[in-house]
Amino acid sequence: MANPKRRHSRSRSGKRRAHDALVPPGWSLCTTCFEPKPPHRVCPHCGSYKGRTVIEVEELE
């Protein structure tokens, strides 16, 4: 198998790794209560999904 003759420079390695950074997860707003929630999930604040109530959420006191 072929082996590299010289090591890669820091700039070359950095150029290759320029797109490896982690991105924060996206959030969407609930259409009922307008609280941020993960997309395609039931809203943890009001229990609705796509405008209709799916689960009953207990009020925290």
Express as a percent the part of the chain with pLDDT over 90: 69
How do the domains of the chain map onto residue ranges? 34-61
CA dihedral defined by 15, 26, 60, 31, rounded to 10 degrees?
170
The pLDDT value recorded for residue 12 is 94
pLDDT, tens only, 32-54: 999 999 999 999 999 999 988 88
Helix (H) / strand (E) element for 28: namely strand 28-29
The pLDDT value recorded for residue 16 is 93
The pLDDT value recorded for residue 61 is 57
How many CB atoms neighbour CB 45 within 10 A?
A: 14
